Structure 1
Amino acid sequence: MRISEAGLPSRAGRRFLLALLGLVMAGAGPAAALDAAVRTPVPATAGYRNAREAMRTGMRDYNAGDKEGAARALEYAAGQGHALALWKLGRMYAEGDGVPHDDLKAFEFFSKIADENADEGPEAPNAGVVASAFTALGRYFLDGIKGSYVRPNVERAYDMFNYAATYYGDPNAQYNLARLYLDGTGVTQDPRQAARWFNLAAEKGHPAAQALLGQLLINGQGVTVQRARGLAWLTLARDAAEGPKDQWIVTLQEQAMAAANERDRAEAQSQVDGFYRRSAKGR
């Protein structure tokens, strides 16, 4: 099952979508609260010649283990609108990585990226950062942030995932969009659409998407039953699984392998080998 990437929005449709996203951002809370710099004031002059130098210093300090120093340098670069600095700070606050865990602060950094860079095309240098920011916002809108103005809003989550998935082709967004369709969260439950989006993410090496696509193929849920291909996707997902958080992938693959016949196992392994050969040639 091969499915082509979703088409890009028309120019008129894109203008409408960007306007919608602007309304979504503006409606999240006080306008000033969307500017992460308001919550993390940085002196106008901090010993850096420009945002790029501050960004380099921040990443050097981060890699050296000085995350407090990294945060200071990154905040200066973020205050100058440096998208990658905003993204890195968002990830640090979201994970409590060297700074206090603060989902609202992370949300605000990601919001600033979306507000200032949403009109950048998929080939722009910052496209990956922008797509990741929209995806992160989608996850925050999906669950909300307890004790803050960010309330659960599935419609907004869908908008964030759909924009990053269709316009930027972001695999994490495609996976999250597929989950909405699979579970019927905020949309009509549609396993066929779920399989479509899982496939797009799976082709880009997204392990969770590969695992769930494999399960759909084995069960014939939204797609024609293809047990060998489903087992192949599950095996690729298991090979890429990392640590306890991905144990569910390992369990799914082991269960599918145990239930498969020898012919399906052999065919699945042949498909896995072919996938790795194609990947090696593409490097």
Structure 2
Amino acid sequence: MKIFLLVSLIPIFVFASYFREGIVHYKQKNFEAALEAFKNAALQENSKNAYYFLGLFYLKGLGTQQDLDKAEKYLQIASSFGNERANCLLAEVIILKYKDYDKAKKILISGKKSGAYECNQIAKKYKIKL
């Protein structure tokens, strides 16, 4: 019985470490390894934070080529979990991909009100007055 319990818990410990592993690699600027860990965290754990980091990585081209379609996809998922920081980055995708500054501004204003500091940074970068 104890062996069965131990064996059944192993996957939980393995999966629970993907996001943490991604953060460690991210802090070490080992972006390719971080990207893989965040992919695993998203797929295995459905981690809202992993989706945020995947969106960030594809937006900025960290450990991979910039891919605005993938960035948009992952940031929308993170946003659906209520991640306001993801909304800020999604506004940047909207600027870069669609050149829709009005829509981006609305998102940035909302994010700023919720306290997401990235919204201020992105607004400043693209000279959008909030």
TM-score, normalised on structure 1? 0.37
Q: Which residue in 2 is equivalent to 1:250? A: 120
Whole-Å separation in 2 of the counterparts to 1:153 and 1:195: 23
Q: Which residue in 1 is equivalent to 2:3? A: none
1:32-71 superposed Cα distances (whole Å, 9 cap, x missing partner)? xxxxxxxxxxxxxxxxxxxxxxxxxxxxxxxxxxxxxxxx
Whole-Å separation in 1 of the counterparts to 2:25 and 2:102: 37
1:138 aligns with 2:22: yes
The structure 2 residue matched to 1:234, chosen from 98, 102, 108, is: 108
Report deviation, 1:161.
0.4
1:157 aligns with 2:34: yes
Helix, strand or coil: the match of 2:77? helix
1:78-97 pair list within 5 angstroms = none
Whole-Å separation in 2 of the counterparts to 1:237 and 1:170: 21
- Percent identity over paired residues: 20
After superposition, the Cα gap between the structure-2 partners of 1:256 and 1:176, relative to the gap in structure 1 and judged at 3 Å, is same
Q: Which residue in 2 is equivalent to 1:184? A: 61
Q: How many equivalent pairs are there?
A: 121
Name the Cα RMSD after superposition: 2.9
1:92-139 superposed Cα distances (whole Å, 9 cap, x missing partner)? xxxxxxxxxxxxxxxxxxxxx9x651577xxxxxxxxx3xx4222101
Whole-Å separation in 1 of the counterparts to 2:60 and 2:22: 16
Report deviation, 1:181.
1.3
Q: More helix per residue: 1 or 2?
A: 2
Greater relative contact order, per chain length (Cα 8 Å cut-off, separation 6+): 2
1:129-186 superposed Cα distances (whole Å, 9 cap, x missing partner)? x3xx422210102233xxxxxxx64333122100222343322111111122122222
The structure 2 residue matched to 1:207, chosen from 84, 97, 105, is: 84
Q: Which residue in 2 is equivalent to 1:224? A: 98
The structure 2 residue matched to 1:117, chosen from 8, 12, 26, is: 12
**Residue segments in structure 1 that go unaligned for 5+ positions in a row:** 1-80, 82-112, 121-129, 145-151, 259-283
**Residue segments in structure 2 that go unaligned for 5+ positions in a row:** 1-5
After superposition, the Cα gap between the structure-2 partners of 1:119 and 1:178, relative to the gap in structure 1 and judged at 3 Å, is same
1:9-29 superposed Cα distances (whole Å, 9 cap, x missing partner)? xxxxxxxxxxxxxxxxxxxxx
Whole-Å separation in 2 of the counterparts to 1:232 and 1:176: 22
1:170-207 superposed Cα distances (whole Å, 9 cap, x missing partner)? 22111111122122222122122112211211222212
Report deviation, 1:211.
0.7
After superposition, the Cα gap between the structure-2 partners of 1:216 and 1:118, relative to the gap in structure 1 and judged at 3 Å, is same
Select the structure of larger CA radius of gyration: 1
Whole-Å separation in 2 of the counterparts to 1:230 and 1:139: 28
